Chains A and B, each alone.
Chain A
Amino acid sequence: MKLRSIVSVGVMALAAAAFADYTDGKVCGWMRVDSDLAVTVVGVPWVDVGNPATNVKVADLVKTDNLTAGDKLYVYDNGTWLFYQLSSGGEWVAGTTANSSVTPVEAGTPETARLARGQALYLERQNPTEGGVAKPFYVYGAEGTALTTKTLSGAAGTKFLVASPKAEAFQVTTSKISGATAKSRSASGDQIIVPLTGGASRTYTLASGKWGYVSGGVRVKEGDAGYLPIALGTGFWYIKSGAADVTITW
């Protein structure tokens, strides 16, 4: 699906201006995300505008329109949360993370730190609604080279925060995910955890050859009527319980 078709009508004029600057045939624009969550997992669907060979900058991905000074981005990087805060001047400022290591970790400057397609991050907003209605935010970038798969490598227990780079819902099925460890009496199995409204979550596990989740006390599995995908643009946690690589096909 071309990015043009998902650009909000309300910003078509700006999107058109962005297109006018482009001469290499790449599509760019920005996508409206309607969410009333104070903390939203944001997917990274695109690459850097003007330099499609590189990943999008932290400074560019989430536009500051509709955001409030003090709003924050959290990027999970191999066990450490990197952190950016929106200044009163409307710019993302890199923060410092104090964790169990002796040396604090500095987030890369927003103009140089990059986010890969298929990655996900948290956006924390102080004002996610206005008048009781969800305030949208905007994700920005350029269409990049097709990213069809993502490999998750790491020991059992490794966690990944990911999101489909495609502008469509992600179907959690065995045809889309290979190498996963199934749940059994002796193994907890891989988990996919999706954040939902109100602090709830949906957890998918692999059992008896099918992915599924429990809803209302009943296991709903792939192929069942009403089996829910992961919504467009929504990030999720993938937790490995085995050491073998897991491959997600978007």
Chain B
Amino acid sequence: MKRLMTMLGVAGMAVASFAAVDDTLISFSTSGPDKYADGTDVLAGEVYALVWSADGQFDGIKADGTTVDPADKVVLVSGVAKQGANGTYCPPLLFQVDAALAETLKDGQYAVYLLDTRVTAADGAVAVGGVDENGALKAVNSYGAVSGDTKAAAGAGTIAKATTTAVGGASVATFVEVEAPVITAIKPNGTKITISTSGLSPVVDYKVVTGAKPGEVATELDAKADANGDFTFEKPVNGAFFKVIGVRKFEAK
């Protein structure tokens, strides 16, 4: 994974003061339009994340919302993107890092990222996935750092300000890494076959293709993965080899 520069746009960072007394406050907003990698405006309610790295190099986010580098951290998230006259934007947002947590993070660097958490329903409708009832990200397709021209470390008891890029809008640029799915078992069952898999990503649509020879696996079957990652389909007349192929749900334009 390409190491990403952590850029906390903190133009005119305020004199270190103390929040309550030692919370860390980081404010952020954009004027829009904020865009997904496919060029569309982010959906209302899309998520902005406050991330942190110990070494100033935030290595990215996985599809499940955890960090690529276990030492990095997604500190806070908030689904506040709003539709405005100039497209979707982030209204005034304050990340409040509680004192106890801020103390443990005081020697690192923060950054603000825009996330693409879109999901598709069974009927094809697209919506913001956002967070679950525990505040955890459901799925992340891609993400982008909202950068400014000043790097700064925010420590406990600091009020800081993150700014947008010069164009006024945030954008998503980096896709989460997706591991190749693994077929773990093939089970015939009467007229049907079930293929079991592991490693399916929530940001990818999968299909099963088949063919008579290993090099000719290309015919798509009518099969969707269930919650366990199993594909069940009619036993093909001519098929003897199978492959599971994934396509990102939301590709770049």
Inter-subunit contact B18/A83 (CB<8 Å): no
Inter-subunit contact B92/A198 (CB<8 Å): no
Q: Kindly list chain A residues whose C-beta atoms are within 8 Å of the C-beta of B80.
A: 96, 98, 104
Q: Say yes or no for B94: interface residue by CB 8 A criterion.
A: yes
Q: Say yes or no for A102: interface residue by CB 8 A criterion.
A: yes
Inter-subunit contact B159/A124 (CB<8 Å): yes
A contacts with B: majority SS: strand
Q: Say yes or no for B228: interface residue by CB 8 A criterion.
A: no
Inter-subunit contact B96/A122 (CB<8 Å): no
Q: Say yes or no for B29: interface residue by CB 8 A criterion.
A: yes
Q: Say yes or no for A47: interface residue by CB 8 A criterion.
A: no
Inter-subunit contact A159/B15 (CB<8 Å): no
Which one of B58-66, B115-123, B129-137, B169-177 contacts A? B129-137
Q: Say yes or no for A19: interface residue by CB 8 A criterion.
A: no
- Contact A201/B18 with A83-B27, A85-B27, A98-B78 known, Cβ cut-off 8 Å: yes
Q: Say yes or no for B230: interface residue by CB 8 A criterion.
A: no
Chain A 57-80 against B: per-residue CB contact (8 Å), 1 yes, 0 no?
A: 000000000000000101010011
A76 vs B25: C-alpha distance when bound (angstroms): 12
A213 vs B81: C-alpha distance when bound (angstroms): 46
Task: Give the total of B residues in contact with A, Cβ under 8 Å.
Answer: 34
Q: Say yes or no for B46: interface residue by CB 8 A criterion.
A: no
Q: Say yes or no for B12: interface residue by CB 8 A criterion.
A: yes
Select which of B29, B50, B96, B159 is within 8 A of A80 by beta carbon.
B96
Inter-subunit contact A96/B27 (CB<8 Å): no
Select which of A85, A104, A126, A161 is within 8 A of B20 by beta carbon.
A161
Q: Which residue of B lies closest to A37 (CB)?
A: B15
Select which of A98, A102, A122, A193 is within 8 A of B159 by beta carbon.
A122
Inter-subunit contact B77/A38 (CB<8 Å): no
Inter-subunit contact A198/B17 (CB<8 Å): no
CB distance from A46 to the nearest CB of B (A): 24
Chain A 124-153 against B: per-residue CB contact (8 Å), 1 yes, 0 no?
A: 101000000000000000000000000000
Q: Kindly list chain A residues whose C-beta atoms are within 8 Å of the C-beta of B72.
A: none
Q: Kindly list chain B residues whose C-beta atoms are within 8 Å of the C-beta of A122.
A: 17, 159
Inter-subunit contact B96/A85 (CB<8 Å): no
Chain A 187-207 against B: per-residue CB contact (8 Å), 1 yes, 0 no?
A: 000000101001101000000
Chain B 40-78 against A: per-residue CB contact (8 Å), 1 yes, 0 no?
A: 000000000010000000000000000000000000111
Inter-subunit contact A97/B12 (CB<8 Å): no
Q: Say yes or no for B93: interface residue by CB 8 A criterion.
A: yes
Inter-subunit contact A96/B20 (CB<8 Å): no
Q: Kindly list chain A residues whose C-beta atoms are within 8 Å of the C-beta of B94.
A: 74, 81, 83, 95-98
A binding-site residues for B, Cβ under 8 Å? 37-39, 41, 72, 74, 76, 79-81, 83-85, 93-100, 102, 104, 122, 124, 126, 159, 161, 193, 195, 198-199, 201, 237, 239
